[in-house]
């Protein structure tokens, strides 16, 4: 009433223009805005209801690669595919740029894998030869290993047999996706590509000249007659190579990946003596897989496992640190098996009694202190992997780089197999 009285006082009763101006906001503007808002809302709902959205192109990531591949098989008439792939003329697999774009594939081309060292039936590879299997590589009828040349560099080909089942193909490609998903690291072997559209499917990895660290250590036992050799081991070299492996472990842990199989057999050595951590098959198999829980839980070598793994099967970054301590022991002894005199069935009881690795004669007190700090019974009192890296870097400055480590005798393979417990499981130096 007071508002109307104010307007009446301002405007004469017969001044309709003045009255319209004063009531414009309440009578005209606000209702008009509400009406327009209602129209926009109704138009939006109409478009959402009756106008179909354009389908966005599907991007295949490593996590859904398997399902995308099955979808591709059901629609083979499509000219373009997506995913981890490299048809004839293999493309490098750049981890930062997944998924890869794939060129159109000629359906009438079926590459045959060369079986000789000089035959070149695939444009990408040359000088292909079978990689000799050793006792620490599990024999398999599903995958064969070859070495070859690609783009003027040595590579290892992990080749799936042509008549593999669909489940074997899916497992093969899933492992390739797992490795590529880890990304690049200077101390992890580089995945260069994956051939998957046409048989034979294969993973292409960089080859490291000196192969596995275990064989490298055994060759280091040989006296080169006083002259320097490319495989001479010193305590300083142990700190350098150990730091490289520890750096790779730290990276895997940052990715939420527990290696679970650290040992000299799982480390590869390059021509410049760079050490790179491999043996990722156990980490891949340990991922949650509802279809086959616990299927691979006994594949790893027990003499490299932490007490909590032996007792309860509990893997953690701390259990990798324990195994890393055993790796340092292997390096300083030039490939001796850990706990050589202790049967595997008695190892847990041996550790429960407070006993551990014995100090090798060639091991300095500082290096042995690092080994025991890694292999502490209580996992909460073990060093973290970052602390291990710090101690290795600090110790490298004062470590002996002149005295070459030697072993009193060459390795006895049969004895090593027995003392290391290889009769119970197989392992992979190259997967």
Confidence of residue 424 (pLDDT cuts 50, 70, 90): low
Question: For the whole model, what pTM was predicted?
Answer: 0.69
Position 408 pLDDT exceeds 50 = yes
Confidence of residue 9 (pLDDT cuts 50, 70, 90): low
Residue 229's pLDDT is: 66
What whole-number distance in Å separates Cα of residue 417 and Cα of residue 109?
A: 45
- Higher pLDDT residue, 152 or 9? 152
What average pLDDT does this structure show over 5-27? 64
Position 67 pLDDT exceeds 70 = no
Q: Are 243 and 385 in contact (CB under 8 A)?
A: no
Q: Are 320 and 259 in contact (CB under 8 A)?
A: yes
Tokens representing 375 are: 């292999």
pLDDT tens digits along 112-146: 333 332 222 355 677 777 777 676 666 567 888 88
Position 280 pLDDT exceeds 80 = yes
> From residue 170, how far is each of 67, 163, 174, 201, 415 by CA, in Å?
9, 13, 6, 11, 38
Q: 276 - beta bridge partners?
A: 268
- Higher pLDDT residue, 422 or 339? 339
Residue 79's pLDDT is: 35
Rounded to 5 degrees, φ, ψ at 276 are -130, 135
Residue 224's pLDDT is: 52
- Higher pLDDT residue, 43 or 359? 359
User: Which positions ≥6 away from 299 have C-beta within 8 Å?
Assistant: 282, 285, 425, 426, 427
How many whole angstroms from its chain centre is CA 358? 33
Percent of the chain with pLDDT over 70: 68
Query: Please, what are the domains in the chain?
Result: 62-102+114-206 (3.30.200.20), 213-420 (1.10.510.10)
Position 201 pLDDT exceeds 80 = yes
Best mean pLDDT range from 34-48, 237-251, 342-356, 414-428: 237-251
Confidence of residue 101 (pLDDT cuts 50, 70, 90): very low
Residue 23's pLDDT is: 67
Residue 49's pLDDT is: 73
Euclidean distance between the first and final Cα of the chain, in Å? 89
| Weakest-pLDDT range from 101-115, 173-187, 197-211, 313-327 | 101-115
Q: What is the mean pLDDT of the chain?
A: 76
Q: Are 305 and 319 in contact (CB under 8 A)?
A: yes
| Weakest-pLDDT range from 138-147, 158-167, 358-367 | 138-147
Position 159 pLDDT exceeds 80 = yes
pLDDT tens digits along 222-270: 765 555 566 789 999 999 999 999 999 999 999 999 999 999 999 999 9
Position 20 pLDDT exceeds 80 = no
Long-range contacts of 379-385 (CB under 8 A, 24+ apart): 379/306, 379/308, 379/316, 379/318, 379/319, 379/322, 380/318, 382/318, 382/321, 382/322, 383/321, 384/317, 384/321, 385/246, 385/249, 385/250, 385/253, 385/317, 385/320, 385/321, 385/324
Tokens representing 57 are: 């192109």
Long-range contacts of 287-295 (CB under 8 A, 24+ apart): 287/178
User: Which is nearest to 373 in space by CA: 400, 360, 392, 350?
Assistant: 392
Position 188 pLDDT exceeds 70 = yes
Residue 150's pLDDT is: 85
Q: 188 - beta bridge partners?
A: none
Q: Are 160 and 169 in contact (CB under 8 A)?
A: yes
């Amino acid at each position: 009433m007071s508002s109307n009285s104010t307007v009446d006082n301002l405007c004469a009763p017969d001044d309709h223009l003045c009255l319209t101006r004063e009531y414009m906001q309440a009578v005209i503007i606000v209702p008009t805005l509400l009406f327009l808002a209602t129209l926009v809302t109704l138009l939006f709902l109409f478009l959402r209801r009756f106008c179909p959205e354009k389908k966005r192109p599907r991007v295949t990531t490593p996590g859904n690669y398997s399902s995308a591949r099955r979808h591709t098989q059901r629609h083979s008439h499509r000219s373009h595919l997506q995913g981890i792939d490299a048809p004839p003329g293999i493309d490098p697999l750049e981890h930062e740029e997944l998924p890869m774009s794939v060129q159109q594939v000629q359906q009438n081309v079926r590459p045959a894998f060369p079986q000789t060292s000089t035959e070149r039936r695939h444009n990408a590879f040359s000088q292909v030869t079978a990689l000799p299997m050793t006792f620490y590589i599990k024999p398999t009828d599903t995958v064969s290993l070859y070495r070859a040349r690609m783009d003027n560099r040595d590579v290892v080909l992990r080749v799936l047999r042509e008549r593999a089942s669909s489940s074997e193909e899916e497992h093969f490609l899933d492992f390739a996706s797992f490795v590529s998903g880890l990304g690049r690291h200077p101390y992890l072997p580089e995945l260069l590509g994956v051939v998957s559209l046409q048989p034979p499917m294969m993973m292409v990895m960089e080859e490291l000249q000196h192969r596995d660290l275990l064989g490298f250590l055994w060759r280091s036992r040989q006296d080169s007659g006083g002259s320097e050799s490319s495989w001479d081991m010193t305590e300083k070299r142990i700190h350098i190579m150990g730091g490289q492996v520890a750096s790779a472990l730290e990276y895997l842990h940052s990715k939420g990946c527990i290696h679970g199989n650290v040992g000299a057999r799982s480390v590869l050595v390059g021509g410049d003596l760079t050490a790179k951590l491999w043996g990722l098959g156990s980490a891949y198999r340990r991922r949650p897989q509802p279809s086959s829980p616990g299927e691979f839980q006994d594949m790893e070598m027990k003499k490299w496992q932490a007490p909590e793994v032996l007792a309860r099967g509990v893997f953690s970054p701390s259990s990798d640190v324990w195994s890393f301590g055993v790796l340092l022991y292997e390096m300083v002894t030039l490939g001796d098996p850990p706990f050589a005199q202790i049967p595997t069935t008695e190892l847990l009881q041996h550790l429960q009694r407070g006993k551990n690795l014995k100090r090798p004669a060639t091991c300095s007190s500082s290096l042995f202190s690092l080994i025991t700090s890694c292999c502490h019974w209580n996992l909460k009192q073990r060093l973290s992997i970052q602390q291990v890296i710090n101690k290795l870097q600090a110790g490298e400055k004062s470590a002996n780089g002149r005295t070459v480590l030697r072993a009193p005798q060459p390795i006895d393979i049969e004895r090593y197999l027995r003392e290391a417990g290889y009769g119970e499981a197989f392992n992979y130096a190259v997967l």
